[in-house]
Chain A
Amino acid sequence: MKEYFALIFTGGKSLIVGMMITLRELFRPVVTVQYPREKLPISPNYRGHTILIRDDEKPLKHRCISCKMCERECPSNCIDLAGEKREGVKGMVLIKYRLDFTKCSLCGTCVEICPTDALDFSNEYQHVGFSREDFHYDLLAMVEEEEK
């Protein structure tokens, strides 16, 4: 009989204590961020999709020598690049660099393995698109656009 009543008092007390906590939390400031209006600063090391680094000294504004190391090493082969030989220019000239971001798992193999450190991660995290092709990024076009 004794624990019958003991249970009521301990139980009741624990219920009250629980409610006091939520009451205290009720009057505390809000923690969440209203995403479309307020945006959190993204850390510089954040891994968005890979981009070609802009390098103004180089004639072509990027350092890629289209050696296709990244294309070979990528685990989910989502890189498709092509280079061509132009006379009067030493080495290959990059003409196409398409990244299929739907298959990329952001493992960073391409960034590490690139002999001329031409690739890096962008801070882009808002990917919106209506079709799969919207996520096939053309990195070469992105680098050239940058200069405008």
Chain B
Amino acid sequence: MSAVMNTGFLPPELLRIIFAVVCAIVIVFGNAVVMGYLERKLAGRFQRRPGPMEVGFHGILQLAVDGVKLVGKQLIVPKQTDKVLYRLAPIISFAPAIMPLVVIPFSPKLQGRDFDVGLIFILAVVAINVLAILIAGWSSNNKYSLLGAMRSVAQNVAYEIPMLLTLLSVILVTGTFSLRGIVEAQSGGAWFIFLMPVAFLIFFAATLAETNRAPFDLPEAESELTAGFMTEFSGMGFSLFFMAEYTYMFIACSLTVILFLGGWSGPPLPYGEYTSALWFFAKVYALLLTMIWIRWTFPRVRFDQLLNFCWKYLVPFSLVHLLVTAVVLKL
């Protein structure tokens, strides 16, 4: 990238961005496949059963086969649904999922474009998903989906606040919103998880709720609302939601890694500039596995308990935490 290549009519910077977006898409689909496979295999293993074994060696091709099935399925649009919004919802949910990957610094060299407001950009983009779920719930004209959509709006709005507050305590220390800046601030091995473990826990709980996962998966509560806002979607609509959920999980975990686990920093590797991305992916996938682990252990929280937990426990604690960091910084 550094040497000026003869790029014909395209300015090198634009080429770089196009290449980054292509990498982002590859990561999104790769992550969806890997996560889908890991989720089924681990879910099986937790329940003392082997998980998918039929297709390919130990079910490796299971996700590919599922993809073909989902793509092949007929797109059924129920009669009284709002046609335009019904088709738009999955797209609105999945499209913004790719944008944050351009900003995330996988390794010192591997980063699409570093904004100095990278963090705010990611949060803004992730917030669109709430809108998509609301549109999906409203447009599929089904009482269960509407209930699921209402729940997810309240849940995402509620958990945005502790997430931002804990972010602020990190920003207070690093002083910059640029993701690269945050990671460099932790490069000396002083990861923020050691400085503020409580902030890490609060942030991780908030991301769980943001991505509708584990004990907070009320919007698509199987046993009450059949499949929540995704009830009326089948085929590609459902698979877009499915991939969007995994991509948002990936983004949430990578944010946690960048903020608290020191991004790409780790014991040096050959070609450090590029290969330290392995540390980044290792940490992200460790967090993703914990998310899966949590999902297959705990029952679902009731809706009012979910909000109580946020307003009575997470928000006060993150406020106090913010105060404490501010005071400590001043000393």
Interface size class of A (residues with CB under 8 A): 10 to 19
Q: Which residue of B lies closest to A12 (CB)?
A: B201
Q: Which residue of B lies closest to A19 (CB)?
A: B297
Complex CA distance for A32 and B42, rounded to whole angstroms:
15
Complex CA distance for A57 and B53, rounded to whole angstroms:
49
Which of the 9-residue segments B43-51, B66-74, B150-158, B246-254 touches chain A?
B43-51
Q: Which of A8, A26, A28 has the most chain B CB atoms inside 10 A of its CB?
A: A26
Distance in Å: Cβ of A36 to nearest Cβ of chain B: 9
Q: Are B50 and A22 closer than 8 Å at their CB atoms?
A: no
Complex CA distance for A26 and B294, rounded to whole angstroms:
13
In the complex, what residues of B have CB within 8 A of residue A21's CB?
297
Q: Which residue of B lies closest to A22 (CB)?
A: B297
Complex CA distance for A5 and B285, rounded to whole angstroms:
32
Q: In this assembly, does B19 line the interface, its C-beta being within 8 Å of a C-beta of chain A?
A: no
A18-B298 in contact given A8-B313, A23-B293, A26-B42 (Cβ < 8 Å):
yes
Interface size class of B (residues with CB under 8 A): 10 to 19
Distance in Å: Cβ of B198 to nearest Cβ of chain A: 11
Q: In this assembly, does B296 line the interface, its C-beta being within 8 Å of a C-beta of chain A?
A: yes
Q: Which residue of B lies closest to A30 (CB)?
A: B50
A34-B313 in contact given A15-B298, A23-B293, A25-B48 (Cβ < 8 Å):
no
Distance in Å: Cβ of A109 to nearest Cβ of chain B: 38
| B interface residues, Cβ below 8 angstroms from A | 42, 45-50, 53, 293-294, 296-298, 313
In the complex, what residues of B have CB within 8 A of residue A32's CB?
48-50
| A interface residues, Cβ below 8 angstroms from B | 8, 15, 18-19, 21-23, 25-26, 28-32, 34
Distance in Å: Cβ of B130 to nearest Cβ of chain A: 27
Distance in Å: Cβ of A145 to nearest Cβ of chain B: 34
Complex CA distance for A32 and B50, rounded to whole angstroms:
8
Q: Are A26 and B45 closer than 8 Å at their CB atoms?
A: yes
In the complex, what residues of A have CB within 8 A of residue B313's CB?
8
Distance in Å: Cβ of A9 to nearest Cβ of chain B: 12
In the complex, what residues of A have CB within 8 A of residue B297's CB?
18-19, 21-22
In the complex, what residues of B have CB within 8 A of residue A28's CB?
48
Q: Which 4 residue pairs of A and B lie closest in terms of their CB atoms, listed nearest first?
A: A32-B49, A31-B48, A22-B297, A30-B50
Q: Which residue of A lies closest to B51 (CB)?
A: A30
Q: Are A25 and B298 closer than 8 Å at their CB atoms?
A: no
In the complex, what residues of B have CB within 8 A of residue A15's CB?
298
In the complex, what residues of A have CB within 8 A of residue B50's CB?
30, 32, 34
Q: Are B46 and A19 closer than 8 Å at their CB atoms?
A: no
Distance in Å: Cβ of A111 to nearest Cβ of chain B: 36
In the complex, what residues of A have CB within 8 A of residue B45's CB?
26, 30
In the complex, what residues of A have CB within 8 A of residue B42's CB?
26
Q: Which residue of A lies closest to B294 (CB)?
A: A19
Complex CA distance for A32 and B313, rounded to whole angstroms:
41
Q: Are A30 and B296 closer than 8 Å at their CB atoms?
A: no
Distance in Å: Cβ of A96 to nearest Cβ of chain B: 42
